[in-house]
Amino acid sequence: MITETINYFAVVEQMPEDAVVTFHGATWEDYEELLAQVGEAGGRRISFNDGTLKVMTLSHGHEKYVRFIDRMVSTLSLRLGVNVLFFGSATIKRKRAKGNEPDASFYVQTAAAIGNRIDLDLSVDPPPDVVVEVDIHHDSRDNYPIYAAFRVPEIWRYNGREMEIYHLQEAGYVTAETSRALPMLGSRILTQYLSRLPEDGELKAILAFDKWLQSLPR
């Protein structure tokens, strides 16, 4: 019997924007090899969940929303003096079982445990307090079991219309109105300012968000 070997990278490098491809029966070695081949090149998210290897390609619009969410949290950190550590789409993985690349990730409650270190080792470090998924073209919710396995406490998911916030509980992720990590932020506020991005542009939208932050009671 001849077993066909799939050249995952050859498939992935031909993918157009806003595409998803799923490979079943992949190995951990396949996943790590693909991560190494793709390297630091942007525009892709790769996940692995017990033999299922999924690759998504991203659009400029997707990346615009991701950067704006980062900018909102950065503005909050500076305005309110909250220590937030940003780790972007750094790969979260557990050897031979699960791995994923969120669109963004933050440490807030456990920022002190990370300190000033640049690199993470999730075999000893806590997971990010918040991961962000922007789903304007794709649906990332089938990756939630990966985050649950790592005990990621909170997920923000923007679907192009509203920001959804999920908190981890014993049965899995449940929707919530406000963030645990940044309790001044809720689904409604995040949705309000994200909806201003295409209407007002990035500068006006972020200035309006900063003005709202200044109105908060101290």
- What does the pLDDT look like over 166-186, one tens digit per residue? 999 998 999 999 999 999 999
What one-character-per-residue DSSP string does 37-102 give? HHTT-SSEEEEEETTEEEEEE--HHHHHHHHHHHHHHHHHHHHHT---EE-TT--EEETTTEEE--
pLDDT band at 43 (very low <50, low <70, confident <90, very high): confident
| C-alpha span between 10 and 3 (Å, rounded) | 18
Which residues, 6+ apart, have CB-to-CB distance to 82 below 8 Å? 76, 108, 182
What is the per-residue pLDDT for 1? 39
Residue 2 reports pLDDT greater than 80: no
Give the C-alpha distances (Å, rounded to integers) separating 162 from 96, 136, 167, 191, 214. 35, 10, 16, 5, 23
What pLDDT digit, counting tens, does each position of 120-137 carry?
888 889 999 999 999 998
- Averaged pLDDT score across all residues of the chain: 92
Domains and CATH numbers, the chain: 59-215 (3.90.1570)
Taking each helix axis as running N to C, give the angle between helix 60-80 and helix 187-200, from 0 to 180 degrees, rounded to the nearest 10. Answer: 120
What predicted TM-score, i.e. pTM, was given to this entire model? 0.93
